[in-house]
Amino acid sequence: MPFEPQRTLVFMHVAKSSGTSLNAGLIDTLSPRRAVGGFDRVMFGGFSDFSSLSDEARASVFERPSDLPDGDFVHGHFSLGTTLERYADAQFMTVLREPCSRLLSHHRYWRSRTPRMLQGWGRWSRVIERSHQNLEIFLSDPLVACQTDNMTLRMLLWPHKLIPDQGFIDPRDDAALLEAARARLARFDWVDVMEDDHLADHLRSWLQRPFRYRHLNEAAGRPARGSSRLDKDLSDRAFDLLMRRSRLDLCLWQDVVRARMPGTDPVMLRTKAMIRTVARHGGAHPGGRSGFAGGGLRLPQFPRPAMGGRALARRLLDMLPVGGLRSA
């Protein structure tokens, strides 16, 4: 549907999917009278101790759709259900990211948060600090499932009786949930994928306005002090869990790739995405150089004792089922 500037625009911001950059560009382009950002409860799962948050942090959390104020540009980590109820006449847009890359970046981003950054977040900061566990333990932790287990699908469907607030989606419900999520995604007026090199051009065309796309809020390439390197975290079991936690989001991402990028092979696009993500987060040579050029990464339990970022990413893609629905 063409962009209609007189209507409220809702941007569903999936974490670590270039949303901060897109938000900044959209605000610059649209000059909204009132922009509304923040979080709803889809991001917190079973957590309910919002009274432990500082007043500033608490003001960014909207527990009910009716708590959201009027606005002409709504952005933030809100589920579609929340914004549909509050802004029924709005236009909706979102951008998806290859889900294994998104989840790896999300883990590294969370563990890069310092105690000072978490001041004000009360007992929720203890949940974020669970990211300091290695990747295998983190992806097995039901307390953070709201952030790790098929987050895009959760944001499309929450609240839903088949999606637990605390715990993982039962694979027996995959088909029903995927069908419902695809129907919800079709409700959006504009959708693209972060890996589309022409994303900014497509958005300019839809908005019929100039749009500047700047890369902001990127997680640092070097892990937080005291945390393990990504190449050391990527055990066989961690690979398995990475696929399980991304299986439904992968299907949704592939749908958008085929619709927005006809002729593009989703498998090749995934390979490129994983190369970039693993190269960025995989480890560092002395002097701070990335492991992308090779020699700096060691992948446990594989015959070769060391792999560069490209080889590690390709090995990871070899281990992942393409279809997305099959549980590893």
1 belongs to a structural domain: no
Question: Looking at residue 286, what is its pLDDT?
Answer: 29
Is 286 part of a structural domain of the chain?
yes
DSSP secondary structure letter of residue 70: P
Residue 2 domain flag: no
- Contact present, 174 and 248 (Cβ < 8 Å): yes
Q: Indicate the number of domains in the chain.
A: 1
pLDDT at 325: 33
Q: What is the pLDDT of residue 26?
A: 97
Domain that includes residue 114, residue range: 9-319
94 found inside a domain: yes
pLDDT of residue 307: 44
pLDDT of residue 215: 73
Residue 238 lies in a domain: yes
Say which amino acid occupies 307. Answer: M
- One-letter amino acid for residue 219 of the chain: A
Does 15 fall in a domain? yes
Give the separation between CA 237 and CA 136, rounded to whole angstroms: 7
DSSP string, 163-229: S-SSSPPPGGGHHHHHHHHHHHHTT-SEEEETT-TTHHHHHHHHHTS-------SPPPSSPPTTPPP
**What is the C-alpha to C-alpha distance for residues 74 and 86, in angstroms, rounded to an integer?**
11
Asked, for residue 180, whether it belongs to a domain, the answer is yes
pLDDT score, position 235: 85
Angle at 227 between CA 221 and CA 228, to 5 degrees: 85
User: Rounded CA gap, 276 and 195, in Å?
Assistant: 11
Whether residue 42 lies inside any domain: the answer is yes
What's the CA gap between 68 and 55, in Å, rounded? 16
Which two tokens mark 180? 């419902």
pLDDT at residue 231, rounded to an integer: 66
Q: Residue 59, Cβ neighbours under 10 Å: how many? A: 10
* β-bridge mates for residue 109, sequence order: none
Q: What would the pLDDT profile of 199-250 be if each residue is shown by its tens digit?
A: 999 999 999 999 998 876 555 444 454 455 666 788 889 989 999 999 999 9
CA distance 154 to 136: 21
- pLDDT for the residue 219: 52
pLDDT at 150: 98
Instruction: Dig out the tokens for 189 from the structure.
Output: 């007026």
pLDDT at 13: 98
Where the chain has pLDDT below 70, the residues are 216-231, 282-328
